[in-house]
């Protein structure tokens, strides 16, 4: 699988892994076994477009390890998605699930397409054909997709329908993050963002930051929106928000719900008048208490890590901080990093709740879901914090070491077949 190393996001995930494996002193044979993905599937997806032309899209699904149960992770629809990025994201899902004790290996994948340029019918056709191609490789006990960038509960509903039609009866647990009316879980849609806000607020409280923290959120999709709304509900002031069209900065505070309604009405964030317009790069460097990158990978880099001005870096996105940036942040003890595999784990935790509820056909209230979610996040945060302090290692390495250790121990306990 060396070809994956052509991708910079995969190299980044490997560099984090290698650094953690060094810390854990994992023998070479164990490293190799734990690091590389078990399966990397690429499919061609021929689709008739609204114009009548047929276009062939590339779809990917990487299943990182099969040691603990089905694989789990989102599907991303993005123009530049490839196998390397999917493999990196699958690897992070493995450490994330292990860190919070979910009985899953990591997976990730999606389709290289621009969902903003597709009609609803084209999007549905791509999704259904992609699912058809993946049928031998997914299922409630095999691999369970969920939403990620560019996909949503409707995407999951189409996958559920296509898969169930093939099986001959409804199989809701083939996906999570599906609509409530199809067996989705209360709280799943909001879970990633709310989990990030919960942990950021928890950390701010421990660090005795002022109750009205200044928060900047880069990314205004599902994750960024719910993180910003929840931060405002905790009494923080959201002073900056960015999306693909640009960023808005207002030191007096942004009404996040009003901005969400504005963007949902079809206008772009760049047209919003209640604040100053700046670039996403400038947004990341504004002074604040809590900085939440909640968009893409590699936005905090060697070029801007020395310039960010926050006390807490709460990583909502997967892989927002490069290893070069980590080296700089390691020298900035005034900043607490809540690493991605911990910070954004709320999404997959509630996905797990959804899967469990579906398999039992027994559903929980939103209060039960959120209570269980916050307990798991608090426990994981405490464990990571304690490990970082005791071993004098960065928060990222502490979180990764807990996840990687659990996966390598599980593989050792199972032994090697044959
Ligand atoms: N895509 C989300 C993540 O990166 C959620 C995955 C899931 O719920 O399976 O964690």
Per residue in 318-332, pLDDT (tens digit) is 999 999 999 999 999
108 is catalytic: yes
Report how far residue 123's alpha carbon sits from residue 156's, in angstroms, rounded to the nearest whole number.
Answer: 12
Cis peptide before 396 (omega within 30 of 0): no
* Residue 103 CB neighbours (<10 A): 14
Closest atom of ligand 1 to CA, residue 318: 4
State whether the beta carbon of 73 lies less than 6 angstroms from ligand 1: yes
Percent of the chain, pLDDT > 90? 99
State whether the beta carbon of 319 lies less than 6 angstroms from ligand 1: no
Report how far residue 287's alpha carbon sits from residue 307's, in angstroms, rounded to the nearest whole number.
Answer: 9
Closest atom of ligand 1 to CA, residue 148: 1
* Residue 16 CB neighbours (<10 A): 26
Catalytic residue among 35, 72, 108, 406, which?
Answer: 108
pLDDT digits (tens, 9 = 90+) for 57-94: 999 999 999 999 999 999 999 999 999 999 999 999 99
> Candidates 100, 351, 369, 399: which one to mutate for ligand 1, based on the most atoms within 8 Å of Cβ?
351
279 three-state secondary structure: coil
Confidence category of residue 235, pLDDT binned at 50, 70, 90: very high
Q: 411: exposed, middle or buried (C-beta count within 10 Å: 0-12, 13-18, 19+)?
A: middle
- Cβ pair 64, 40 in contact under 8 A: no
Q: Is the pLDDT of residue 417 over 90?
A: no
Percent of the chain, pLDDT > 70? 100
State whether the beta carbon of 348 lies less than 6 angstroms from ligand 1: yes
φ/ψ (deg, to 5) at 143 = -160, 130
Report how far residue 24's alpha carbon sits from residue 19's, in angstroms, rounded to the nearest whole number.
Answer: 9
Report how far residue 73's alpha carbon sits from residue 397's, in angstroms, rounded to the nearest whole number.
Answer: 22
Q: Is the pLDDT of residue 257 over 90?
A: yes
pLDDT of residue 303: 98
Report how far residue 144's alpha carbon sits from residue 330's, in angstroms, rounded to the nearest whole number.
Answer: 36
pLDDT digits (tens, 9 = 90+) for 321-366: 999 999 999 999 999 999 999 999 999 999 999 999 999 999 999 9
Confidence category of residue 211, pLDDT binned at 50, 70, 90: confident
Domains in the chain with CATH codes: 11-179 (3.40.50.10860), 191-329 (3.40.50.720)
pLDDT of residue 323: 97
Q: Is the pLDDT of residue 105 over 90?
A: yes
pLDDT digits (tens, 9 = 90+) for 399-408: 999 999 999 9
The mean of the pLDDT values for the chain is: 97
Q: DSSP label at 346? A: H
State whether the beta carbon of 350 lies less than 6 angstroms from ligand 1: no
CA of 62 to the centre of ligand 1 (A): 14
Closest atom of ligand 1 to CA, residue 96: 10
CA of 237 to the centre of ligand 1 (A): 27
φ/ψ (deg, to 5) at 320 = -75, -20
pLDDT of residue 418: 81
The protein residue with its alpha carbon nearest to ligand 1, atom 9, reads 73
CA of 298 to the centre of ligand 1 (A): 18
CA of 178 to the centre of ligand 1 (A): 12
């Amino acid at each position: 699988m060396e070809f994956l190393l052509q991708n910079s996001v995969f190299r980044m995930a490997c560099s984090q892994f290698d650094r953690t494996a060094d810390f854990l002193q994992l023998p070479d044979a164990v490293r190799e076994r734990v690091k590389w993905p078990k399966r990397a599937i690429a499919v061609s997806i021929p689709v008739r477009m609204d114009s009548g032309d047929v276009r062939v899209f590339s779809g990917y699904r990487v299943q990182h390890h099969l040691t603990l149960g089905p694989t789990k992770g989102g599907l991303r629809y993005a123009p530049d998605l490839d196998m390397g990025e999917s493999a990196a994201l699958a690897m992070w899902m493995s450490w994330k699930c292990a860190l919070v004790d979910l009985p899953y290996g990591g997976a990730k994948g999606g389709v290289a397409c621009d969902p903003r340029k597709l009609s609803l019918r084209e999007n549905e056709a791509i999704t259904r054909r992609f699912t058809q191609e993946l049928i031998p490789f997914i299922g409630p006990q095999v691999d369970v997709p969920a939403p990620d960038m560019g996909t949503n509960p409707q995407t999951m509903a189409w996958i559920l329908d296509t898969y169930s039609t093939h099986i001959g009866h409804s199989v809701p647990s083939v996906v999570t993050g599906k609509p409530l009316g199809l067996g989705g879980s209360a709280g799943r849609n909001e879970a990633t963002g709310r989990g990030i806000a919960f942990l950021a607020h928890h950390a701010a409280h421990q660090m005795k930051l002022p109750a009205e923290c200044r928060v900047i959120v880069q990314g205004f999709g599902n994750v960024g929106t719910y993180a910003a709304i929840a931060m405002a509900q905790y009494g923080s002031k959201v002073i900056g928000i960015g999306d693909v069209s640009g960023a808005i900065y207002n030191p007096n505070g942004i009404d996040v719900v009003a901005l969400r309604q504005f963007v949902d009405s079809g206008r772009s964030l760049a047209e919003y008048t209640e604040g100053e317009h700046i670039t996403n790069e400038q947004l990341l460097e504004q002074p604040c208490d809590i900085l939440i990158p909640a968009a893409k990978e590699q936005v905090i880099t060697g070029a801007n890590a020395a310039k960010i001005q926050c006390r807490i870096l709460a990583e909502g996105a997967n892989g927002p901080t490069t290893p070069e940036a980590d080296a700089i942040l390691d020298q900035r003890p005034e900043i607490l990093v809540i690493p991605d595999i911990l910070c954004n784990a709320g999404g997959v935790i509630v996905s797990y709740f959804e899967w469990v509820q579906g398999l039992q056909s027994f559903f929980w209230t939103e209060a039960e879901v959120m209570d269980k979610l916050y307990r798991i996040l608090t426990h994981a945060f405490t464990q990571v914090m304690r490990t970082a302090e005791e071993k004098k290692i960065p928060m990222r390495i502490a979180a990764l070491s807990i996840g990687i250790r659990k996966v390598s121990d599980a593989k050792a306990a199972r032994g090697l077949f044959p």
